[in-house]
Chain A
């Protein structure tokens, strides 16, 4: 199969991230889209495909139509894609599929919302708690937060494998270490393991600093054909492998709590790319909670099941570590504007592969894995990206 490799990521863009007052979802998405087009040396007139995601700050019946209308686009390929937190990775795979089937020549993937300014953190916590991630009749009445649903995975992992609160905290510290070098990150002041453990307990064993931020922001990626990419401004970055995985909708009935379908997504992506985890120089892993990264490291094959906690110890996934993970600072420290959150991981992978990551550049980054996780660790998408 060569269809995926005929595509190239040629433009990346971020809006301002964090607290960005006075911006609607469309304002933020325009900022990101214009940045991505400028990065590629393209304009809206070159775009004939559009992918976006739902947002939680507007009452849009048809997000892709609202975004197309705002940008004055009349694309021949257009869709709203929703595989929850996996949407960022998945949009790249779908864009490549649209190119391969002749439905578009240049696809703009864009997402974002003013989650922080529109809701505030408390209101967003409440909104998410009632958003259907917990079963409305069989789970929500007991009062779980969304973080509680992940805490159930974390608790089981700790009890089953001996993973410690300090090991979970290592993930938060690593993300903050990367974010300190990312000028667009929402939280940049350094934190220690002790700071994470001393931060308020939200839902045991997860502290506030084990949980993602709530942010304003948007992000965009331009995908076009490899032939066209050669004439554009940037070194093209190639999707070499892509895969999805799904295990469950509700965490309450999922008995294999600490083993996720990220294994299926990763296996498919690695197989298509013809590489293994050992070939990857930089891994952009979805980090909605600290436990998410530990489970992904195991299920994607970077370490054995149960060893994720030990794997992250000693700064191993942070700056200067053996396996740089989520080098922009992720959802934990750079920002988490809803379904757009996981797309920042794609953008960061492209930056690393281009050699444009500045002070957080990983030496010799030629192959990157990007992984998105959606729902309550039940829906996954992996991408292998390369400099080819």
Chain B
């Protein structure tokens, strides 16, 4: 959410993220093995990094432009690498404090985000949570095998460390009212109460013994350790993510088997496809296109769910409005039925406190200002949007915090949504090296259904590095410095991705298409190409610094290999995000400053994510060697070393060996 008037253009991953996290930034840091930095980048925009690294619905991945080439980056799994490998602390509490106080009702993702942001804006924030433990839906309803409770606590602890007070067992309308809060001196009140009530389909027999509702079931499994009686077949009604959570939780809670029944056809299921896949892996039987007709009780015990065939789920206008073949029915046997067909809010206490609901019992709410019908009372989260992901709820929390800040300062707040970079052009896609997506390790399905341990094991550091290297660095590469360009077309001709084009007699380096390989920057004959990614434009200055103190050797290494070099003394060496960004003038500069020899150490061809970069780096080494020979310095002053990941630790020896004079052949 930006607060300026001009829309900012972001990489598609960042733009699609409701809280606009700089995914490209933390992926780049991970690729360089800078895990602390990666976590810092994550924390810049994300107040719940561990939670998001674990359960985020990662809309970013849907827009990842590598998806056009092969498969998108595993961005969520990479965030988990950042939070597991990174050690940087959360940003400290701001020094400047404001006198005003804000109360937040509800400690789910929306409320926590708003509280976090308001605390950083200097306000004194108190969260009122009606349950005994904070976290809202994440604590009550998200299964433990997806999100260990200790991890939630770590994120929440970081927020309370900012001075945010969380008062649990404080329920609006029960032991506190909006008037009380105003009397206590709260200048603004934010309603972030979520959707805590399970809906029922309204079919005959739904009140029978043995019929449960999704949210109470999940809450008792998660919070109270509820386990099902032995040998029970469970039927879960619903096709969303909550239904999947219920089904998979039921298996772990001891169900003999789980059958899901949903209205939607497989392609229409609202659940995330990977959740459906994981449920299937665990042996859950999914029956699509059936709607509950009635629950039949036999011998006083629940036995059968009668279903009717779905004709269509949505009407011609695309609205949810299921129709059925009333005569086409089937019976699904089970001992327990859990209804997971949707959830709603619990706002009945609000009208008495002067906060209006509409005729459909929904909150009267203005999304432009995040306000309710009562002055000083704001709202965010699923009460304002309907059911959605945690990260979407967080984004509304952020927006509400900004709205409250504006209100308390007496300023008008205008929200401007940033814009995404354009699509990747087909000719660019063709040039990009295909690199297989790294599968995120998970517990074996047969074993994981027997426990509540986290199913998704995440990448280790090395797998994280490999995956992060797949990032296309959208928009973080080359840009033309027009006043220096002489339109020689070298960039147009060297680019393996066809990014620079000619337009109206001029060169246009399409920033949104650039793959950040750097070849053009080093080949431009007039230094007319700038580079956004850090670590490129400052190469000359770094050479000067490195060459202070009469050094005889200057080493360059690919900073994507930093992790493998962590045991090696790289003091005085220069890390470059791929060696193809080194220019011949850089190498000559080192010799001018006194170097006797230089080396470039980088990946093997197979490990380099770029197209042709190592070839270009080698070509420049050859050119400089030839120039140095002309200058009377002899041959082979610069060496290029392609190093296997596990050999970087021996870099010193490899360099020494490379410069060792070759023995003359015998005889």
A, B bound:
no
Binding site for B on A (CB under 8 A): none
